[in-house]
Structure 1
């Protein structure tokens, strides 16, 4: 487990497992699950704009426990 800071909104995020290192900053409010890491911008914006997630919904990548802004893939 690692705690990192979102490079977009600067909130802190607890990461349990790192696979490819790409994330979307969002936890679904009803399901309690992280939004899929390769979600597109339209989907992430929808979740954020409709107040369905905790977090900003924006993409970032983790390198050596440091976060960087990345684009939607």
Structure 2
């Protein structure tokens, strides 16, 4: 961990996730980066959208939701 970014382990797939601290607003994330532009997907994307991206091999990551609590990734549900 450093001052500017956080590296956490996805609580679903256990792969590492790099998060800029400046991007932690409501602390909700999806473990998904679009292959087309390397941008993180909408952290509030619905389950159906995430499944579409996964099923069509459009993202890096498992696409599942998590939240950051005390610098740790914790499983949360789709909102």
TM class by shorter-chain length?
A: over 0.9
Q: Which has the larger radius of gyration?
A: 2
Per the alignment, residue 67 of structure 2 pairs with 61
TM superposition outliers: structure 1 runs of 4+ over 6 Å: none
Over the aligned positions, Cα root-mean-square deviation in angstroms equals 0.5
Which runs of 5 or more structure 2 residues have no equivalent in the other structure? none
Which runs of 5 or more structure 1 residues have no equivalent in the other structure? none
Paired residues in the alignment total 73
TM-score (norm 1): 0.97
TM-score (norm 2): 0.90
Distance 2:73 2:17 in 1: 11
